Amino acid sequence: MITLTWGVGASERPLRVLLIGAHADDIEIGCGGTVLSLLRRPQPIDVTWLVLAAGGPRKEEAISSADSFLAGAAKRLVLTHTFRDGYFPYDPSIKDVFEGLKSAAQPDLIFTHYRDDRHQDHRIVSDLTWNTFRSHVILEYEVPKYDGDLGSPNVFVSLSRDTCEAKIDALMTHYKSQALKRWFTRDTFIALARLRGIEVGDSTGYAEAFYGRKLPLAFGEHTPSNSTA
């Protein structure tokens, strides 16, 4: 297994990370462990955290959860909107949010939904992410659910058991509204991390997995410009 350590040097500007979730809890489920791991690095990291459907009590849950996960960030910006859950294909104003991101954010690394996710909101978010950011490193995360659409990811981030537990503890603490959902359990989240850990073959035994459809790499001679053109 070849491991790539990626990022700008500690003496340069912070690494800029953009996290996009259709619903409150999507980011944490899909890449919460990776976020915690990134923020333990010595390199400063600036994070923009966007949740599109966070109305009512879910807004408070989303903000408190984001604040918990981003405690180690050099800078953080948490953005929430109140688009209707399940109706993303029918609300063109969601596109305006992404157009605003294009001018406001110049991320080095973006996490968004899996393009082939069966939830229509997730697919719309993934498509808009790719339409908005054309020259960026984009990793698509997975969310386990009823639809059974887990696939074969090709990018893995190894996690310690402690990091997995910290991620799950935060989910259970901040998302009380989800407690009655039969899939929202510790067993679900640790089982998926264990399965992906087996697939990556790392000694930690746990991982989060992503789909990297286009990964621009520069080995010292040229740094890709994060152009949105």
Distance between CA atoms of residues 210 and 130, nearest Å: 15
Task: Give the single-character DSSP code of 89.
Answer: G
The DSSP 8-state label assigned to residue 90 in this structure reads G
- Helix (H) or strand (E) segment spanning residue 137: strand 137-141
What CATH number does the domain located at 15-211 have? 3.40.50.10320
Q: Token pair for residue 217? A: 């790499």
- What confidence tens digit (pLDDT) does each residue in 146-186 have? 999 999 999 999 999 999 999 999 999 999 999 899 999 99
pLDDT of residue 11: 46
The C-alpha atoms of residue 28 and residue 84 are separated, in whole angstroms, by 20
Sign of the CA dihedral running 169, 170, 171, 176: positive
pTM (predicted TM-score): 0.90
Residue 224 has what pLDDT? 57
Flag whether pLDDT at 22 surpasses 90.
yes
What's the whole-number mean pLDDT along residues 201-210?
Answer: 93
